[in-house]
């Protein structure tokens, strides 16, 4: 019997997060995490859905900063926090 814990099959590689705000981009599709627009009418409401979307630019007009904020994230006390809503990124049911 080994003194090592059983392997979960997951990599133990440690990643670091950038400082400031950042996008979370899919390495396969090149799309970024975005808060579903219907949930933005009441930013205090928990349970917003996250979807993949094309990255919004910093131009004015339809790609204004408030719309871009829903795609921006930051770290705070070990949590990933959406810039627009202030809510943390979580997985429904706590498992993935």
DSSP states of 40-88 as a string?
Answer: GGSTT-S---EEEEPPP-S-SGGG-HHHHHTT-EEEETTEEEETTT-PB
Within-domain flag for 74? yes
Within-domain flag for 23? no
Within-domain flag for 21? no
Within-domain flag for 43? yes
Which of 31, 35, 28 lies closest to 71 in space, CA to CA? 35
pLDDT, tens only, 29-81 = 999 999 887 666 666 677 778 899 999 876 645 545 667 888 999 999 989 99
Write out the residue range of the structural domain in which residue 77 sits.
Answer: 32-90
Within-domain flag for 10? no
Domains held by the chain: number: 1
User: In the prediction, which pLDDT does 65 show?
Assistant: 62
What's this model's pTM, rounded to 2 decimal places?
Answer: 0.69
Within-domain flag for 59? yes
């Amino acid at each position: 019997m080994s003194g090592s814990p059983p392997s979960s099959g997951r990599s133990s590689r440690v990643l670091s997060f950038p400082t400031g705000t950042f996008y979370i981009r899919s390495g396969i599709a090149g799309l970024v995490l975005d808060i579903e627009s219907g949930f933005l009418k009441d930013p205090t409401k928990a349970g917003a859905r996250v979807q993949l979307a094309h990255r919004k630019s910093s131009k004015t007009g339809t790609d204004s900063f408030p719309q871009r904020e829903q795609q921006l994230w930051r770290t705070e006390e070990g949590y990933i926090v959406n810039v627009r809503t202030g809510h943390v990124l979580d997985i429904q049911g706590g498992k993935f």
